[in-house]
Amino acid sequence: MIQKGNFLLLEISEFRPWLQKQKVTRRIKGLQVHHTGSPNYTTRKMVNGVAQQDHFKCLEGMRDYHINTNKWIATGQHLTLFEDGKIGVSLDRDLNMTPACIYNNNAGYVGIEIIGCFDKGVDTMTAVQKQAGIHMYAVLCEKFYVPVNTDKIVYHGWYTASGTRLSDYTPGKSSKSCPGTGYWGDGNTIAAANKNFLPQVRAELERLRNGNANTKPKDDEQMTEAEKLQMTTLEKTVKQQADWIKAEKAKANMECPFWAKAAYEYYKDYISDTTGSYDFWRQLVINYRKDNNIKVSK
Ligand SMILES: [Zn+2]
């Protein structure tokens, strides 16, 4: 693990332990897939599969472009995957910040750039980068409970320039061909994603989970049937309590519910906040009925 300037450079083997330690309070709903286009294998000065350009120089170059040309506040992406399987972590775009990678579709996503131009006939992804990519996406899915499917792991090319999700990559409608018309050797369509890339990520995630599970079974086997039942009941109770607390919290600070919309419209000049407790909205509706002499039929 090396830190220099605005980036951290991780060996692929360091990624999982590093990510597991990160405290991410932003809710992550999905992962983006991008290729950098430029930089690519040519600008990285690849000689016999080994890039001659320094990793940090490449990362700082992207950051410089994002800040000085695009006028963004920081590097657009959170993570950058190199051709040799190393991962660049943007220290100026920590995981609690929304990325700047797909116009209007960044909230809740992790922004990931894969170094290369994977349009047909340009760069062919190295085996090391592929392996690292599978592991990286699986580790992110594990950490953030992201399901491995095309709703949650999304290619840039599935969106228009204004951020509308398309049913598939559509030349002429898609904002870009990113992550490349030859991405993963299969292309950038939904079918291509489902052919090799996502199944490979799924298999790796399974492998990671089984690896963890292997440290547990002994304890399970030593438990009696009664203890197992007790454990299941306890787990259920804990989950019920957690659900109840979550529901109560949501009720204490809710946006105007549909049944209070008319009342809110009527009083909105007197209300400073758009959220309130369930009881607040209920009381508002009662006042509204009183003011307008609307009786409730029973
Ligand atoms: Zn992209």
Cα 184 from Cα 182, distance rounded (Å): 6
pLDDT, residue 297, reads: 78
Cα 149 from Cα 271, distance rounded (Å): 42
Looking at 145-216, list the stretches that DSSP marks H as alpha helix, in order from N- to C-terminal side. 190-192, 198-213
How far, in Å, is the centroid of ligand 1 from the Cα of 77? 10
- Which band of pLDDT confidence, cut at 50, 70 and 90, is reported for residue 59? very high
Distances (CA, A) of 97 to 30, 42, 163, 291: 14, 31, 19, 45
Give me 116's structure tokens.
Answer: 């290369």
Does 126 have pLDDT greater than 60? yes
User: Are 30 and 102 a contacting pair, CB within 8 Å?
Assistant: no
Does 215 have pLDDT greater than 70? no
Residues 229-267 pLDDT 10s: 777 777 777 777 778 777 877 778 888 888 999 999 988
How far, in Å, is the centroid of ligand 1 from the Cα of 116? 11
The proportion of the chain whose per-residue pLDDT surpasses 70, expressed as a percent, equals 96
Residues 195-206 pLDDT 10s: 999 999 999 999
User: Who contacts 70 (Cβ-Cβ below 8 Å, separation ≥6)?
Assistant: 76, 100
User: Are 30 and 155 a contacting pair, CB within 8 Å?
Assistant: no
How far, in Å, is the centroid of ligand 1 from the Cα of 197? 17
Does 60 have pLDDT greater than 70? yes
How far, in Å, is the centroid of ligand 1 from the Cα of 235? 42
Name the residue ranges covered by the structural domains of the chain. 2-213, 217-252, 254-291
User: Are 132 and 85 a contacting pair, CB within 8 Å?
Assistant: yes
pLDDT, residue 61, reads: 98
- Which band of pLDDT confidence, cut at 50, 70 and 90, is reported for residue 220? low
Tell me the CATH class for 2-213. alpha beta
How far, in Å, is the centroid of ligand 1 from the Cα of 158? 10
How far, in Å, is the centroid of ligand 1 from the Cα of 38? 11
Does 82 have pLDDT greater than 80? yes
